[in-house]
Amino acid sequence: MKIITKNLNLWYGSFHALKNINSCFEINRITAIIGPSGCGKSTMLRVFNRMNDLIEGVRTEGEVIIDEANILDENADLVTLRKKVGMVFQRPNPFPLSVYENIIFGEKIHGERVKRDRLDEIVEESLKSVLLWDELKDKLNEPALRLSLEQRQRLCIARLIAVKPDVLLMDEPCSALDPQATQRIEELMRELKNNYTIIIVTHNMQQAARVSDDTGFMLLGELIEFGKTENIFTAPRDKRTEDYITGRYG
């Protein structure tokens, strides 16, 4: 297991957003978290790299074990954690820099002084990993904000890959993309799972069924059901899961 949560609870002030979450995320698999808006999906995702810490009034209890260490421990190294667990957001957020500078940004923050030749290698390797090298190899010094939405999202994934994380968190990564671009990002996710553990939050149940190996269904801050995607979608154990998947609510 790559990530294990034990009795995970989270409050925004007095609002109990996550309630006794117990789950296991396997290495080199894609796990989809589904459920209606406001059920805690994105909140749980942000727990895994402690991004909720940036919100005033947040309180978290329980354990989140990554590589046998509890990341909720007060002595946890957040810089190391956020290098190990990277995040892709709903809307692509490249920095207002060149394509090249976007890719090496993390290396400059986390790494020691790196020679230009090595930086060039990192840029090429990262862009090849997201199937952008052929499209952008002659545009490395151009502003990243000129790229298409799909290219920007791929670039953001390449920027994460450059610092060699273990886990990729993806919060609605295709919500701003058209169907063709969505298909290509889904194909990319399938390729990336050979080297990374991927957790994706999505409102698109068809996408969850297509791309994920495992699925968790959340409702009102609780993890109602968690298991292999095929079982969740064809033989859910909980009637609430069945009602959501069949469109009776949500």
- State yes or no: pLDDT of 111 exceeds 70: no
pLDDT of the residue at 106: 84
Please report how the helices 116-129 and 99-110 are oriented relative to each other, as an axis angle in degrees rounded to 10: 110
Report the chain's mean pLDDT, rounded to a whole number. 93
3-state class (DSSP) for residue 153? helix
pLDDT band at 249 (very low <50, low <70, confident <90, very high): confident
Residue 247, pLDDT above cutoff 90 = no
pLDDT, residue 250, reads 62
- Global pTM reads 0.93
3-state secondary structure at position 250: coil
Contact (CB, 8 A) for 45 and 171: yes
Whether residue 72 contacts residue 7, with contact meaning beta carbons closer than 8 Å, is answered with: no
Residue 113 has pLDDT above 80, yes or no: no
Q: What is the pLDDT of residues 34-48, one digit of tens each?
A: 999 999 999 999 999
Residue 22 has pLDDT above 70, yes or no: yes
Conformation bin of residue 39: beta by default, left when phi > 0, alpha when psi is -120 to 50: alpha
| Structural domains of the chain in order of their starting residue, each with its CATH number | 3-245 (3.40.50.300)
**pLDDT(112) > 80:** no
What is the tens place of the pLDDT at every residue in 164-216? 999 999 999 998 888 998 999 999 999 999 999 999 999 899 999 999 999 99
The CA distance from 172 to 42, in Å, is 9
Q: What angle do helix axes 99-110 and 149-161 make, rounded to 10 degrees?
A: 20
